Amino acid sequence: MTNKSSSTISSLAKGLRVIECFDAQRPKLSISEVAALTGLDRATSRRCLLTLHAEGYAAYDGKFFTLTHRCLRLGTGAIGGLQLPQVVQPWLDQLTEQISQSCSVAILDETEIVYLARASQRRVMSIGLMPGSRLPAHSTSMGRVLLAAMPDAEARRVIEASDLSPRTRFSLTDPEEIMAQVQTARRRGYAMVDQEVEISLRSLAVPVLNSKGAVVAALNTGMAATQPADPEELVEGYLPALLKVQAGIARILG
């Protein structure tokens, strides 16, 4: 058996933990804050941050550190090396043209979804979405169909580990209510979210399947809440097109 301590680099692991501390809610962090978030001591946190700064991955104003655009190389390189974005992008482009709405594909990463591919028709969210963007899984249509692919116990664990702070007045914050929506998505084969992520935004998602029927990602479309006025019309109007793309991808995705 390989000795883990002799085959891994602990300093690299610590540096990655430091990078993961930064997100949309915490774009600027001090050494003490990073130490608290990572569980590393202050001296180690300082060395990691200064190394990131020296290599161009972090900016430093004398008190706070922020990640720089150089960090995007890490994410875009990983996404670019995946087969899935290359396979689904032409389908997204065609679907977006057909239904005149933006469409996306995402995967689950712990409590968040990560966008892998996107075709934009018009901007309906206040934040720009692109490959690498993240949103909470529990409150998004793609997140719920991905959670629906899990056993209940595992999906519940993800939900309970999530930050359930409401993003809008429509956001579900009770784990049992969210779990009920996940189970409904599993039964129906799709999930619809009505203004839980952002006011005036609705989205509809289906799972992306490989040729063996396993769920590998999620596909969705989003539009303004007034288009159509009745949320159920969203299902009637757009689900057939999503299911057609789902079937097409499954035929070619190994």
- At 81 the pLDDT is 47
Specify the long-range contacts of residues 113-119, CB closer than 8 Å, at least 24 apart.
113/137, 113/140, 113/142, 113/143, 113/146, 113/218, 116/79, 116/82, 116/84, 116/85, 116/88, 116/217, 117/84, 117/85, 117/88, 117/89, 117/92, 118/92, 119/89, 119/92, 119/93, 119/95
pLDDT tens-digit series, residues 131-154: 888 999 999 999 999 999 999 999
- Which of 4-13, 23-32, 242-251 has the least mean pLDDT? 4-13
- At 5 the pLDDT is 55
Q: Would you place residue 2 in the very low, low, confident or very high pLDDT band (cuts 50, 70, 90)?
A: very low
pLDDT tens-digit series, residues 50-91: 999 999 999 999 999 998 878 766 765 555 445 788 889 999
